[in-house]
Amino acid sequence: MHPNSSLIKGVVCGVRVEEIDDPLMRKIRYLDKLVDELAKGKSIEKILRK
């Protein structure tokens, strides 16, 4: 995983990504969120919110 993946914020499947406790599940949701946002045409810069 990229070190900046923790900058991905938002909701996936009704769950806030940054509030998931299980590290593996959080990484899976980061990827879900990334794929969803890229499919909508958003740039990486907008997805990785600082």
Residue-wise pLDDT for 27-45, tens only, equals 999 899 889 889 999 888 8
Q: How many structural domains are present in the chain?
A: 1
Q: What is the CATH number of the domain that holds 32?
A: 1.10.8.290
Question: Given this model, what pLDDT does residue 2 score?
Answer: 80
Of 14, 43, 17, 46, nearest to 31 (Cα)?
17
Residue 50 has pLDDT above 70, yes or no: no
**Mean pLDDT score, 13-31:** 91
Domain that holds residue 10: 3-47
Per-residue DSSP letter, 4: G
The three-class DSSP label of residue 32 is helix
> Rounded to 5 degrees, what angle do the CA atoms 31, 7, 9 make?
70
Question: Given this model, what pLDDT does residue 45 score?
Answer: 82
CA distance linking residue 50 with residue 34, whole number of Å: 15
